[in-house]
Structures are given as C-alpha cells and as structure tokens.
Amino acid sequence: MSAGEPSVTMEAEQLQRLLDALPALISYIDSDERYGIVNRAYERWFGEDSGSVVGRHVREVIGDAAYASVKPHIAAVLAGRPQDFESALTYPKGGRRHVRIQYIPHLGAGGDVRGFFVLVSDVSEQKRAEDARRFLADASAALDPAQGRDAGFRRVAALAVTSVAELCAVHTLEPDGSVHARVVAHADPAKAELAARLARRSRTRPEPGTPPSPLHEVLHGGHGRLLPDLAGHALADADHIAALRELGCRSAMIVPIRGDGCVLAALTLASAEVADRTSGAADLAFAEELAQRIEVALQRVRLYDMARDAESEARRRFLAEQEARRAAERAAQRMAGLQRITAALADALTSEAVAQVVVDVGVAAAGAYGGAIVVTAGDELECLKAAGYEGDTVERFRQMPRDAALPLTDALRTGAPVWLRSREECSARYPHIVSTALSGATQSLCCLPLVVQERPIGVLGLSFAEPRPFDREEQEFLVAVSRQCAQAMERARLHEERAAFVERERRVALENARLYREAHEADRRKDEFIAMLSHELRNPLAPLTTGLELLQMSAQMSAGERADRDDRHILATLERQVKTIVRLVDDLLDVSRITRGKIDLKRERLDVASVIETAVESVRPLLVHRGHDLVLSVDPGVFVHGDRVRLEQIVVNLLNNAIKYTNPGGRVSLACAAIAGDARIQVTDTGVGISAELLPRVFEPFMQARRTLDRSQGGLGIGLTLVKRLAELHGGRVEALSAGHGEGTAISVWLPLAGPPSAPAEAPPPPAPPPALEAAPGRSGARALQVLVVDDNVDAAEGLRRILQLHGHAVSVVHDGPAALEAARASKPELVLLDIGLPGMDGYEVVRRLRAEPELTRSYIAAVSGYGQDQDRRRSREAGFDAHLTKPVATAQLLSLLAEAAPRG
C-alpha cells in the first residue's frame, strides 16, 4: 500500500471485516465531510437506530455541539495537516465522553487532499480514574488536622464541586435524631445560597411509620447508597432527595464517614447526569474511598486535638494570669475612652456632629479600624458618617433598604447587637455579603442598635482587622458606647427640632407679613382700579346723557324749530363717547387675552416706518388738542417680522401715554433705528416723569402714579402692560427710564430685526377689505325681510327694531327662548337676530330647536352677543348660527347682514 492512497490490492469486503474487528472507532471522511467508510464500533456509536452512517454529513451524525468543537481540526486536516487531540464532547447518542481523536489526511496523486481517516478512542474511564486519583490526593492534603473537622469538610466539598460533582454535602445526626447539614457546596455559585436553604430543610426526623430516606439509613449505620436516578426513586419526595432534584441533580451517592465504631457523618456527592450500572459502581467505590480518607483525617484531628489540649492546658494557666492583667488594663482604657466620648459629645449639637464624634473617637476607643453610623430614613437606612473604609464600600452602603439581609438591618429590626467574631462566622450567617460587600480587611465586626425609649433609631457598625472574641467585658463596653451615641443623637434631634421650629415660626411670620402687605396692596390697587374704571366710564356717560336729553328736547320742538336746529354735533359727540367706552373694554379684553395666551399674531415682514406713520396719524387729533410738538427721527428700511395691527397698537399706546402725561405745549419725540440686531422704537416726552418707587412696576396692570381728583390724564393704567406683553409676544423687550417727577420719561421697545427677504421686495398688496359682517356699507333698496329679534334687554331689542323698521323691514320682538320658538313658528322669519345670553333657555338651545323645525330650515339666524372671541364664534357656528355679531351692533354691520340673508328668502 503506497503512502497517501487506499489499498487497491485488498478487497473491500476483507477491509471492512478487518476494520469491524478493531475496538477503536475508525472511519473515512471525504473532502465534502461525508462518511465513506465506518467500522462496526463507529456504527454502534452513531448509527443503527438512525440508519447507516455512510454517506451522511459529519454534523448530522455527531451533532451540532460536537461538530462545533471539531470543525477547526477538520479544516486543518483538509488543508493537509494531521490532527491528534483530546476533547470532552457531547454526542447525541453516546452522551458526554472524553475521547482522543486522530485525523490522517488522504492525499491524491497530485498531492491534493481527497479526505481523511479518523481514529477515535474513548478514554473516559481513564480520564475519570486520573481525575479521581488527583482529587483524592488533593482531598487528603486539604484535610489538615490543624484546621479542625468542619474546616476540613468545607475544603473537601469545595474541591469536590470543582472536579467530581455538582454538589457535595456533609450531614451529621444530632442527639435529638434530627439531621444537620454541616457543609453544603455547589459548583454553580448562583445556586450556593439555594443549596444552603434546601439543606436546612433536612433538619427533620422521619415521621413515625414512614420509611427512612437513604440519608437517614446511612446516618443510622447503613452501607453506602447509589441513587442512579433520583427522579425514579421510590422516596423521590423525601426532603433530601427533593432538595437534590430542585438543584438540578439527577443521580447521587451517599456514603458513611465512620469513626470510633459509629457513623460520624454522611457524605453526599450528586451529579447532573443519570448514572449507569457500571460507572455508578465505580463512582460509589470512589466515594467510599474518599469517606475512608476523611475517617483517617478525622482520627488525625482527634489525635491533634488531644495533643493540642495537653499543650493548651499548660499554657492556659500561664495565660490566665497575663489575661487578668490585660483585662485590668483594658478596663482602664475603656473607661478612659468612654470619658473622652462623653466629653466630646457634650459639644455636639447636631446629628452629623454626634456621628463625627462617635466615628472619630469611638472607633479608636474600641480598637476598630473602621466604623459607620446609619440612621433610619423612611423605608431605608442612610449612612450618616463612615470612616476607615474604601470609597466604593461607603457608596455601596450609602443607602440600603431596611429589609435587606445584612447585619446592620438585623440589629435595627431586633434591637439586639449582632456579634460576628470571625470572617467564617460572617460567611456562615451572611454568605451573600462576604464576597460581594464585606471589605477584605474585615475579619470580625459588630452592629450595635442605637435605642431611644425602646425604639431603634439607627445602628453603629464597627469593623476589626482581626477576629475578636467579643467577651462579656468588651460587649458591655461597646454597648455603653452605643448608648452614649443614642442619647447624644436623641439630644441632637430635639435640638434640631427646636431650631427648625423656631426657623419655621420666623419664616411663617415673615410670609404672613409679606402676604398681608401684598393683600393690602392688592386691595388698594383694586379700589383704585374700580375708582378709575368708574371715573373713565362716567366721563363718556356724562356727554351721552346730555346728548340724549338734547335729542329728547329736539323731539318736543315744533317742525319749524327742528328745521332751524342742527343735531350733527350732538350725534358726533355721542359717537366719540361710545368709541371711548368700546376702547376701554377692548383694552381690558386685550390684557385678558394676552394673559391667557389667546392672542394669535399674523406675522409679516414690515417696515417699522410705515407702522409708525399709521400710528402717528391715529393720535394726531390728540396731539393738536393738547398743543404738543411731535419730533420724529425714523430711519427708513428697519424691518421686523410682526403683526401690523399689534405693532401699531404698541406705538399708539406709547404716544397716547406721552401725550396724556405731558402738560399742554410740551414736546413728544419718537425715534426708530436699528441697533445691535434689534429695531429700537423710543418715545420720549417732557412730561410729569415717573418716581423711582413706581418705575420698576410701571408695566404691571393698573399701576399709575397718584392722580388728582380731576383725573385729567384718564385711562385705566393698562396701556404699558399691553405694550410689554405685545412686545414679548414678538420676542422683544421694553424699558422705562425717568429721572423723577417733572423730568419726563423715555420708554423704549426692542424688537428683533427681520432677516433679508427671500425674494426681491415687491410693493405690499393693498389691505384686504374687512369682512362683510364687520364693516360692510348699508345696502339701500334691499327687499323687505321678515325679521325676528330675540333679546332679554328690552332697550337693545327696541333699538334694533327701530333701525330695521327705518330700512323698511317687518320686525317682531320677543324677550326669551320659549317666546322666540312660538314667534318663529307663527311668522316664519327670514332673519333671526338671537341673543345668546337669554334667561332659562339660552340662545344655543333656541337655535338647535329652530334648526329642528322643517319650515325654518331656510331662515338666516345670527347670534348677537357681548362675547366675541374666537372660541365664542366657533361655539356659535357649531350650535347652528349662520353669523356672529358682537354688541354693540353697528348699523353698517346690520345692513350687511340683511344683504347676506336676503338671497335665502
């Protein structure tokens, strides 16, 4: 047979018989990773039930897990490199086995790799035997007589779960017949705490009349027990077996550890796999050998203890005398430490100061390397002071829940000290904190509750760098320290509460004084505002009353006398005064809308010069009337992005204020320029000025300087408030300057400049005509309509009736909702003027009922209301109104409405 080529002289059948006779697993795999030849041993491992192996892919035969492990070796042998390696693989049929695998490349005539030969040897038993021998040697070394029996058990258990078992436990039989778990160890650290909890469930005696569990049998002198399948065991619900199953173990061995002619303990080794008959017997023999070695070690421990006891007795007498002297010295030192703590605590008036003293002085007096004070804070404990610990340790315990399983929380919950004399004791009682939370320098610790009137308020924790016995004298001293600390903490708490109470009372008094001043000021401003409002409303009411009396006198004159009389001046006066009242109401509504965020700006790119020009024309009659000079300094080309109407309102209000508060013949200046990215509009006057006291509050609503009884300036004190709010809506700001009384005032408004236009500037389009219902001219000659007026204000209804009748329309008038429904059914009006605020049945309900009448579907129904904001118009439209008029209704609006309603008739 030449190297690299299969034999051509031997018949295939003879070759197969030869391969089948060999115990090793032999196969040939081609370059596509498919089997070409396998012997019977290989077929038994991977074939038979699932069919022949020949022709199948390696992954399909050995499974994904095993294939992932051998894939790199397959790639190497197909590259021409022989492979020889050992691995622990899990096969679908063969289970987990430790194998030695050899891959030999099959080279073709041209040197290319056509496939490879595979030789697999099962070395599981040898490996297990090697591991067992190594473990027994390590276990023997771990059983140091100087460490004591339990320490030896723990070290053996720790070794066992790293190599030969998932779980190792040692149980002893107590004098009362209960079982005690001395040591429990698990290979998975995450299950260690669960294993310890489940082991504690074994501390019970079997009920009378029930068969004993395997663990009880072994402890009572029985032979070692092999439990190959825990799930199928007859006593699967026994505490010990149930605990093993809950931890994921599927088989176990329990063997006795003997000594002095009796069973001293029972050793349990549990595995996550089901044991077969052959391997199980070998494992049981291994466990019994381990138990025998433990027996020998225990004998050595007893001999060691006897020798040590003899030596200890000799030393005991010697040490007793020394200990008596040291005890006297320690008592003196502790007394001195208590005195130092007491003296230092006398000056500590806060909880933090008390904690500082105890941690600084008390830790040193106790001989600890670190200490901390934690206090209750609701459902948590909060670290008040700590010293001697690393930063991460302090941060970990900065706050902790009160129900945490910690020595600190146990001391707080029980009100009794917790003494942990060694790291081992801490590990036994709090295994979860030894590796995760306990500082490496801590070898012992104590937690002392701070008790006030039988109520724990916190805990003093002390950590020691060496194991401590915490004898009676030391415990008494440390408890005395904790009492001193608790008393000082309570004293500090009472002092802090008293100080806090005094501070609260002081702040309450200051707050009450402030609230009284504000309430008094608000009441004064309210009274002043009501007086102003009354004055401002009575001013136009006086000429209105006089004008009405003159018109009544004119109505009583003869025709000839009336012909010689011209009432146009009276009518003009009435019109001016009505506009004054409307302006007052509009200003109040503007302040309300801006305050509630109901103003929507219609922004456009504006030249401020055009806005100022319009505003100046609006106030020119007042300027002429007051006899002022107006000085303008307006730079052209200053553009802002704003609402033209609202910007005009800003300038008009500033000019009105300057004109009103400047004595006749004064000077008012208005300037506009671009300064540092803003457009600045400044109005300056030579008027009465503003006092330093009033200047910071001049933009607040209803703020005015004190007036004389003649109230010559007029107004409600809201003009500057509107200026400020509107400027802020535009992203700007305002400022008022005055040197005092008689020194004039300068008010400036800054608005952000607009950027360059996106397209070449064009002449602004002419303003759109106002809506038809707001300012349309009256239409003379419109056909007569049947009109129904509904208003509970008799005078308002009568006024509308007279105007409509003068224009030739037939009018019916009613004053409530039910009467409106009857009148509409009777007259079938083409136009209904319906007040919303009717008594009993409001206008919304009336319009809904009118719309439900089939004969009134073509009627034009307009709402007439004192409410005219956007939400009011939207609500009336949703209720079924065709239009919304705001009181007072101008004649032009009414005629425009008639023109809208006429086409429906």
pLDDT in tens, 644-672: 888 988 998 899 889 988 989 899 999 99
- Looking at residue 780, its pLDDT comes to 40
Asked if 117 and 205 sit in the same domain, the reply is: no
pLDDT confidence of residue 735: 93
95 and 161 fall within a common domain? no
Domain count along the chain: 5
539 near 714, Cβ under 8 Å?
A: yes
Residue 562 pLDDT class (50, 70, 90 cuts): low
Sign of CA dihedral 406, 410, 413, 415: negative
Q: Tokens 């804070």 — which residue?
A: 377
Q: Where does a domain end: 100, 122, 144?
A: 122
Q: Which residue has the higher pLDDT, 748 or 713?
A: 748
Residue 139 domain flag: yes
Half-sphere exposure of 760 (CA within 13 A, CB side): 0
Residue 589 within a domain: no
- Alpha carbons within 13 angstroms on the beta-carbon side of residue 1 total 11
The 8-class DSSP code of residue 829 comes to -
Do 118 and 80 belong together in one domain? yes
Domain contains 578: no
For residue 57, give the DSSP letter: B
What single letter denotes the amino acid at residue 905? Answer: G
pLDDT of residue 884: 92
Alpha-carbon torsion (325, 326, 328, 333), positive or negative = positive
Count the neighbouring beta carbons within 10 Å of the beta carbon of residue 10. 11
Long-range CB contact pairs, 480-484, < 8 A, 24+: 480/338, 481/337, 481/338, 481/341, 481/358, 481/362, 481/365, 481/366, 481/448, 482/417, 482/448, 482/449, 482/450, 482/451, 483/451, 484/338, 484/341, 484/342, 484/345, 484/358
In a domain, 579, yes or no: no
Check residues 775 and 81 and name the one with the higher pLDDT.
Answer: 81
Is the model's pLDDT at 761 over the cut of 90?
no
Task: Tell me which of 261-265, 601-605, 682-686, 882-886 is least confident.
Answer: 261-265
Q: Answer for the pair 751, 677: CB distance below 8 angstroms, yes or no.
A: no
Q: Which of 416, 410, 451 is nearest to 433 (CA)?
A: 410
At 74, is the pLDDT very low, low, confident or very high (cuts 50, 70, 90)?
very high
Q: What is the pLDDT of residues 861-885, one digit of tens each?
A: 999 987 777 788 888 999 899 999 8
Round to whole Å and give the CA distance between 142 and 695: 91
Q: Could you tell me what percent of the chain has a pLDDT over 90?
A: 20
Give CA–CA dist 844/877, Å, rounded. Answer: 10
Sheet holding 745-752, edge to edge: 629-634, 667-675, 678-685, 745-752, 733-737
Among residues 812, 816, 849, 841, which one has the least CA distance to residue 827? Answer: 812
**Sign of the four-CA dihedral 653, 658, 664, 667:** negative
Same domain, 397 and 516: yes
State the pLDDT at residue 364: 85
CATH number, residue 665: 3.30.565.10
Least confident of 24-33, 232-241, 480-489: 232-241
Distance of alpha carbon 109 from alpha carbon 897, whole angstroms: 110
CA atoms within 13 A on the CB side of 866: 9
317 is a domain residue: no
Nearest to 303 by CA among 149, 155, 145, 152: 145
**Whether 338 contacts 474, CB under 8 Å:** no
Distance separating alpha carbons of residues 368 and 742, to the nearest angstrom: 79
- Give yes or no for residue 774 having a pLDDT over 50: no
In angstroms, rounded to a whole number, what is the distance separating the alpha carbons of residues 405 and 420? 14
Whether residue 334 has pLDDT greater than 70: yes
pLDDT at 630: 93
Question: For tokens 């009613």, what's the residue?
Answer: 814
Most confident of 162-176, 203-217, 225-239: 162-176
- Judged on CB neighbours under 10 Å (0-12, 13-18, 19+), 368 is buried
Query: Are both 72 and 143 inside the same structural domain?
Result: no
Token code pair at residue 73:
């070796």
Same domain, 201 and 102: no
Per the DSSP assignment, residues forming a β-bridge with 737 are: 746
CB atoms within 10 A of CB 750: 20
Mean pLDDT of 273-287: 70
Q: Quick check: 3 pLDDT over 50?
A: no
Q: What is the separation, in whole angstroms, between the first and last Cα of the chain?
A: 120
Backbone angles phi, psi at 415, to 5 degrees: 75, 10
Give the mean pLDDT of 532-546: 57
- Among 22-36, 117-131, 564-578, the range of highest mean pLDDT: 22-36
Determine which helix (DSSP H) or strand (DSSP E) holds 450, and give its type and residue range.
Answer: strand 444-452
Q: Collect contacts of 38-46 with beta carbons under 8 A, ≥24 apart.
A: 42/120, 45/91, 45/93, 45/94, 46/91, 46/93, 46/94
One domain, residues 247 and 359: no
Contacts of 733 (CB under 8 A, 6+ apart): 727, 749, 750
Torsion of CA 214, 215, 216, 220, to 10 degrees: 100
What is the signed CA dihedral for 788, 792, 793, 795, rounded to 10 degrees? 40
Sign, CA torsion 530/535/540/543? positive
Among residues 122, 142, 168, the one where a domain terminates is 122
When pLDDT is cut at 50, 70 and 90, the band that residue 144 belongs to is low
Q: Are residues 632 and 698 in the same domain?
A: yes
Read off the DSSP letter of residue 318.
H
What are the DSSP E strand ranges found in 753-818? Answer: 786-790, 810-814
d(CA 2, CA 23) in angstroms, rounded, equals 25
Q: How far apart are CA 623 and CA 656, in angstroms?
A: 9
Q: Looking at beta carbons, which pairs linking 483-487 to residues 24 or more positions away fall under 8 Å?
A: 483/451, 484/338, 484/341, 484/342, 484/345, 484/358, 485/345, 485/354, 485/358, 485/362, 485/373, 485/450, 485/460, 486/450, 486/451, 486/452, 486/457, 486/458, 487/452
- Residue 54 sits in a domain whose CATH number is 3.30.450.20
Q: What is the per-residue pLDDT for 769?
A: 42
Assess whether 376 and 292 both reside in one domain.
no
Q: Which residue has the higher pLDDT, 396 or 830?
A: 830
Whether 447 maps to a domain, the answer reads yes
Q: Each residue of 339-391: pLDDT tens digit? A: 788 887 877 878 888 888 888 888 888 889 989 999 888 888 888 888 888 87
> Tokens 């018949």 correspond to what residue?
11
- Amino acid symbol at 622: L
646 and 686, same domain (yes or no): yes
Q: List, for residues 778-837, the tens digit of each pLDDT value.
A: 334 467 899 999 998 887 788 888 888 888 899 999 989 999 999 999 989 999 999 988
Beta strand pairing status for 810-814 and 786-790?
A: parallel
Total residue count of the chain as it appears in this document: 905
Average pLDDT of 513-540?
66
In this structure, are 144 and 257 located in the same domain?
yes
- Check which CATH number belongs to the domain holding 300 and give it: 3.30.450.40
Phi–psi pair at 828, nearest 5 degrees: 45, 65
Residue 533 lies in a domain: yes
323 lies in some domain = no
Could you list the residue range(s) of the whole structural domain that residue 220 is in?
128-312
Average pLDDT, the chain: 80
CA distance 243 to 260: 30
Distance CA 642, CA 607 (A): 10
pLDDT at position 533 over 90: no
Range with lowest mean pLDDT among 408-417, 556-565, 623-632? 556-565
Of 92-106, 266-280, 575-589, 600-614, minimum mean pLDDT range: 575-589
Kindly state the tokens that stand for 508: 């309450």
Question: Does pLDDT of 408 surpass 70?
Answer: yes
> 344-358, 360-374, 411-425, 502-516: which has the minimum mean pLDDT?
344-358
Here the tokens at position 335 are 């007394």
Same domain membership, residue 86 and residue 56: yes
Task: Please name the residues in contact with 811: beta carbons below 8 A apart, sequence gap of 6 or more.
Answer: 787, 788, 789, 800, 801, 804, 805
Q: Give the residue among 133, 152, 161, 178 at the shortest CA–CA distance from 259.
A: 152
